Structure formats: C-alpha cells, structure tokens
Structure 1
Amino acid sequence: MDVIEIIKQRRCIRKFKQDPIDDEILKELVDCARLAPCASNKQPLEFIVVKDKETCEKVFENLGWASYISPKGTPKEGEKPTAYIFILVNKQRATKWIGHDIGAAFENILLAAWSKGIGGCPIVTINRKNVREILNVPDDYEIDTVIPLGYKGHDSFAEDNDEKVEYYMDENGNFHVPKRPLERVIHFDKF
C-alpha cells in the first residue's frame, strides 16, 4: 500500500480485536513518531507504550471516548485497545509550536499503524492526574495525547458532507465520518 492510499483510507478506530500487538511493531510506531518534523529540532516529545493488561484497564477507565456518540462509541469488554502510546511533552524543550510537533508525531503513529493493519484514534480527553500516577509521569512532563491501538474491530468511512461534523455509528457498529468536500476547501492562487 502506498502512502497516499494509506492517508486516504486511514480512519479513527475505536473498537478493537483482542490480538496483542508485537513489541517490535510498537517500537517501530514510536520510532516513526520520533522521526516526525518538530520546531527548531528541539525534539520535546517522549512516549510511554502501555501494553500490560492491568495497566491498559486502568488507563481505559481514565479516557473519554467518541463524544458525539457517547456511550455507544465507548469500547465494551472484548473491544478495548490492546496497547496505548502516550505522547508526553518535555516542558524544558517545548516551543510555542508544540501543537504542530504533537500533530505530526501522532499522525506518523496512525499512518504507520494503519500500514500494519492496526487502528487507533488520538484522544485528548484524559484524566491527567490519575494517568500521571498510574504511569509515574514526572512533573516536568505534560501528558498531551494518547493513541489507543489494536487490530481494527470495525470499519470507518469518510463521507463528503459540508453540512455536518458529527460522526455516527450505523446498525453494524461501523463509523461514518463527514468530511468537507475537496472542492470546498481547496483554493488555487487566491481565495
């Protein structure tokens, strides 16, 4: 699969098969994030990979899922992620462009994961106080984003729609995600 195909096919996945993800794959995903562009090459991001079942369950309880369709969008038993990658910001290295750095890193994770048949979804609704304790995160690091991961347990489809932003789940448990049509967002030479 080429990179353009992966970009166009990749969707957020929120329900997962329970097959474990190999450690080497998880390391490769973090390596792809590490190699993402960052402002002034400050390299302010660090990552915690969570795969221990007990820790995964504790993390799961401290995340918000699919706000437009809560609670239907929350994975049930047998659908929960089998791993997580937390993106941490080293406050001593961060620049005012940190949001760009984080976005580039998590998109690299998601694209690399998709290339291996693994789905995920960036989540920022995190009980940071609890997760900081669970993962023993030092105070000079900010917990920014988490990517729950697993082999995909549903399909998700992008659909051209300039009227709505709210995604929905159909009767088969698949997600439908409105995206503004290309002709509405592209401008050549001037607006």
Structure 2
Amino acid sequence: MENIYDLIKQRRSVRNFKPDSVDDAVLKRILEAALWAPSAGNTQARMFYLVKNPELKKAVASACFDQDHVELAPVIVVACTDVEAMRALYGKRGTTLYGICDVSAAVENLLLAAWSEGLGSCWVGNFSEQELQKALKIPKRFLPVAVVPLGYPAEIPPSPARKSFDESVVIL
C-alpha cells in the first residue's frame, strides 16, 4: 500500500486523458472507496451516476458549460446528494450543508482511489444542476454536487503552488 501522505501530495487534477477504456473492476473499487466516506448520521444519502455513453458524456459536458475535458474522459461520475433524505433528518441545514459535505467527502475518496489506480480525475463544480438532471434523467430528489471525469492521464500536470502551513493554520 502506498503511503497515504504521498498519495495525497502526488494527486493532480487531470484534464487531458488517453482514450483507453477503464476496466469495470477498477471503477467498482473506486466507487466503493467513495461509498466508504463518512456521512452525517451515517445517512449515506448520496447517489453516483457513472456515465460511459458518448452521447450522454456530450450532454454532461454541455451541462458543464462545454468543458472539453469532461466529454473526452472515458468515464464521468456525477455525484449527487439526496436532498429529500437530508431534509427529512436535518431540515434546511441537511440540504444546504450536510449533504454537500457528505458528497464532498465521498468525492475526495474517489479522487484518491482513482489516483492510486493510475487514473487521473478532475473535480468539476461549474455546471447547471438542472441540465445534468435532465440529461441523465436524475430524479429531483438527487442534487448534483460534483462532476468527475476519469481516465488514464495523457499528461500529469506539475504540482500546484500551495500556501504554507503557517499561512493556513491557526494554532490556538
């Protein structure tokens, strides 16, 4: 097993993918890692849409305001929160915070698991929720939170600059 700290530091947002398909067993491992993320009250109120169909990938890219790398990835994951379940348990805070946090934790697991499998990914947050729901026939109860294109990297971007520990952490 690779050191988790190295994995975290090595992972990159990849926007240039090889056309190679991704094995279903690899995808299942990655999505299972996402399912193991923590969730508020262990609700696990999230849903993942795995998109391989070229026409649907094109529609997802369109909903992402025509970000080319989304369509060019062999696979796209659309991660959603179950707003009805979160509202029933936690009211407004469940839909405006807890559900978003739960999906975000799952997506981070997915990104790290993908990298450990040799896959690149990119967290896309700029999209029209309504267009995604329409294109993928996502029920209204599921609100898209993130779009994640996945595939083998055609290139690995350099390490981005990071703020220092002292600039980012306040010790009280």
* TM-score bin, normalised by smaller chain: 0.7 to 0.9
Q: Which has the higher contact order (CA 8 A, sep 6+)?
A: 2
Gapped regions of structure 1 (runs ≥ 5): 67-73, 159-176
User: What is the letter of the counterpart of residue 35 of structure 1?
Assistant: W
Q: Distance in 2 between matches of 1:145 and 1:49?
A: 12
Structure number with the higher strand fraction is 1
Alignment of 1:144-159 (within 5 A): 144-158=145-159
- What is the CA distance between 1:24 and its match in structure 2? 1.5
Aligned to 2:69: 75
Q: Distance in 2 between matches of 1:157 and 1:109?
A: 21
Write out per-residue CA displacement over residues 124-151 of structure 1, whole angstroms, 9 at most, x where no aligned residue.
1112222212211111111111111111
Aligned to 2:164: 181
CA contact (8 A) 1:43 1:93 kept: no
- What is the CA distance between 1:61 and its match in structure 2? 2.2
Aligned to 1:141: 142
Q: Give the percent of matched residue pairs that are identical in Structure 1 and Structure 2.
A: 28
Aligned to 1:121: 122
Q: Distance in 2 between matches of 1:16 and 1:84?
A: 12
Q: Distance in 2 between matches of 1:51 and 1:60?
A: 12
Q: Distance in 1 between matches of 2:8 and 2:56?
A: 31
Q: Distance in 2 between matches of 1:103 and 1:64?
A: 21
Identify if the C-alpha distance between structure 1 residues 65 and 156 changes in structure 2 by more than 3 Å, giving closer, same or farther.
farther
- What is the CA distance between 1:114 and its match in structure 2? 0.1
User: What is the letter of the counterpart of residue 75 of structure 2?
Assistant: A
Structure number with the higher helix fraction is 2
- Number of equivalenced pairs: 162
Gapped regions of structure 2 (runs ≥ 5): 87-93
- Secondary structure of the residue aligned to 1:75 is helix
Write out per-residue CA displacement over residues 82-128 of structure 1, whole angstroms, 9 at most, x where no aligned residue.
10111111112222422321221000000000001101111111122
Write out per-residue CA displacement over residues 146-171 of structure 1, whole angstroms, 9 at most, x where no aligned residue.
1111111222223xxxxxxxxxxxxx
Alignment of 1:6-21 (within 5 A): 6-21=7-22
CA contact (8 A) 2:69 2:149 kept: no
Aligned to 1:22: 23
Aligned to 1:70: none
- Secondary structure of the residue aligned to 2:146 is strand
CA contact (8 A) 1:64 1:123 kept: no
Identify if the C-alpha distance between structure 1 residues 7 and 123 changes in structure 2 by more than 3 Å, giving closer, same or farther.
same
Say whether residues 1:87 and 2:79 are aligned partners.
yes
Write out per-residue CA displacement over residues 33-78 of structure 1, whole angstroms, 9 at most, x where no aligned residue.
1110011111111111001222212212221478xxxxxxx439xx
- What is the CA distance between 1:25 and its match in structure 2? 1.3
Aligned to 2:102: 101
